[in-house]
């Protein structure tokens, strides 16, 4: 941004390490792989990088099962992500027991939660 006179505004300071962005994480369909990340205040979060399992809830029987993910069928928010087999919230996946929709954010958690459609 510039001033009315045409000069540039100067930054008060540079970004601190805690304010800098981290690399974007995409959870991809494949053999399970996790990573530990240090957060602000020394907390540790375990995040997924790859997985082939999902905790699927069946609303009819009210049961939850751990099943294998076969394929990513559709990602409404990003059509390219379905071709790359990226697991994101809202994605429709094909499992052993049928189609399911991912209800959590796998890139921030260490598991994939889904509901049968």
Residue 51 in any domain: the answer is yes
CATH number of the structural domain spanning residue 44: 3.10.290.70
Residue 10 in any domain: the answer is no
pLDDT at 22: 78
Number of neighbours of residue 27 by Cβ within 10 angstroms: 23
Residue 15 in any domain: the answer is no
* Position 17 pLDDT exceeds 90: no
Q: Report the chain's mean pLDDT, rounded to a whole number.
A: 92
Residue 111 in any domain: the answer is yes
SS (H, E, C) the chain: CECCCCCECCCCCCCCHHHCCCCCCCEEECCCEEEEEECCCCCEEEEEEEECEEEEEECCCCEEEEEEEEEEEECCCCHHHHHCCEECCCCEEEECCEEEEECCCCCCCCCCEEEEC
Tokens of 85: 């087999």
How many domains are there within the chain? Answer: 1
* Position 24 pLDDT exceeds 90: no
Task: Tell me what the mean pLDDT of segment 39-58 comes to.
Answer: 92
Q: Give the pLDDT band of residue 75 (cuts 50, 70, 90).
A: very high
Q: Give the pLDDT band of residue 14 (cuts 50, 70, 90).
A: very high
């Amino acid at each position: 941004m510039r001033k009315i006179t045409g000069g540039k505004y100067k930054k008060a300071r540079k970004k601190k390490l805690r304010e800098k962005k981290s690399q974007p994480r995409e959870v991809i369909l494949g053999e399970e792989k996790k990573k530990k990340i240090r957060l602000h205040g020394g907390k540790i979060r375990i995040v997924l990088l790859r997985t082939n399992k999902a905790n699927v809830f069946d609303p009819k029987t009210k049961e939850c099962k751990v099943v294998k993910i076969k394929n990513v069928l559709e990602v409404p928010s990003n059509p390219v992500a379905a071709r790359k087999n990226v697991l994101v919230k809202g994605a429709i996946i094909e499992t052993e027991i049928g189609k399911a929709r991912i209800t959590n954010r796998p890139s921030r958690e260490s598991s994939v939660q889904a509901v049968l459609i």
